[in-house]
Chain A
Amino acid sequence: MATNPMHQFNVYRIGPEIKLGEVDISFTNASLFMVISSITILLIFNFGSKKNSLIPNKIQLLAELSYSFISKMINDTAGSEAKPYFSFIFSLFMFVLFCNMFGMIPYSFTVTSHIIVTFVLAAFVFIGVNIIGFIKHGFGYLKLFVPSGVPIILLPLIVVIEIISYLSRPISLSVRLFANMMAGHTMMKVFGGFVVGLGIVGGWLPLSFAVALTGLEILVAFLQAYVFAILTCIYLNDALNLHH
């Protein structure tokens, strides 16, 4: 059993090595947990929407609750115009949520604690929002960088500032999720190490901390998925309704 708190983030190969040219595309533990969470989501929503009874059973209730939760969130933050993108935001939220939650199971692997995973998700959002914005407004979308009511002397500086804050969106989106997951899991492992190190005499205090941290981490796991989805909505809103 490794005591190194970073050991839990190791990515290792499962099964044979597969190479596509120079790129290593072998099946790893990260891919395994992504597949597990995707399959779980598919199963829950498949069974949840199969019977459609008026009085829902538990799985149907879960599916309907999450549907209406995300639907309401999109309506509140991005308006009714964002309805066509519901399926994208919903899958994004569910995937992040399930990856986070599967990471909470002991001995499992947290996919979202790797920045490359979260960055790819954020890059999808960023590129998609840009495409939507340019399709909808043409080159008028660039007005996003020129806020109205700014004196002409300050304009170059403001445009540079706006561009920097626009480019920082995908990075802050990915860093937030990755940093929260990684910091939380490292903390839990460190406190777990304290429990072992201090033994039966002094180990109770860190144990209680570890229990409290587990509760906090479950909250963070949900919250970060929610924040990821709601910020996607906000960026989508900026692209759909161009105003400053």
Chain B
Amino acid sequence: MPKDSFKTRLEIAKNKAYKEENSNKNDKPTSNLGTAFKLSTELVVTVVVGTIIGFILDNWFGTKPWLILIFFFVGVIAGIMNVIKSAKKMQK
């Protein structure tokens, strides 16, 4: 008898845990802090990556300093667009 009742109790507990798991998907405080870290680094790193790409292309084509200037600003735009994209995702 105890084994049987234990099984049903386990089944009930499992169902409950499953329901809870599906109900509170939206409150993840650690993940919000994670998003903040993500945004701040992405804003900076895209500028750096853009500048590096510009630098490499400049060396390739010998067009110093035009491509590095263009890609610097494209990097800035990319960073800001990333932030806007993530902000839109967060609002959903």
Asked if B42 contacts A172 (CB within 8 A), the reply is yes
Residues of A within 8 A of B79 (CB): 165
How would residues 18 to 36 of chain B score, 1 for a CB under 8 Å from any chain A CB and 0 otherwise? 0001000100001101100
How would residues 44 to 62 of chain B score, 1 for a CB under 8 Å from any chain A CB and 0 otherwise? 0110111001000000000
Interface-side segment among A36-44, A87-95, A187-195, A223-231? A223-231
Interface range on chain B: under 10, 10 to 19, 20 to 34, or 35 or more?
A: 20 to 34
Q: Measured between C-beta atoms, what is the minimum distance from B39 to chain A in Å?
A: 10
B-side interface mostly: helix
Tell me if A175 is interfacial: C-beta within 8 Å of chain B: yes
Asked if A231 contacts B81 (CB within 8 A), the reply is no
Asked if B34 contacts A223 (CB within 8 A), the reply is yes
Q: Measured between C-beta atoms, what is the minimum distance from A182 to chain B in Å?
A: 13
Contact A164:B34 (CB < 8 A) given known A157-B74, A172-B42, A172-B45:
no
Residues of B within 8 A of A161 (CB): 74, 77-78, 81
Contact A164:B74 (CB < 8 A) given known A175-B41, A223-B33:
yes
Tell me if A81 is interfacial: C-beta within 8 Å of chain B: no
Interface range on chain A: under 10, 10 to 19, 20 to 34, or 35 or more?
A: 20 to 34
Contact A168:B49 (CB < 8 A) given known A161-B74, A175-B41:
yes
Interface residues of B (CB under 8 A from A): 21, 25, 30-31, 33-34, 37-38, 41-42, 45-46, 48-50, 53, 71, 74-75, 77-79, 81-82
5 shortest interchain CB distances as A-B pairs:
A172-B45, A168-B49, A227-B34, A176-B41, A161-B78
Interface residues of A (CB under 8 A from B): 72, 76, 157, 160-162, 164-165, 167-168, 171-172, 175-176, 179-180, 223-224, 226-227, 230-231
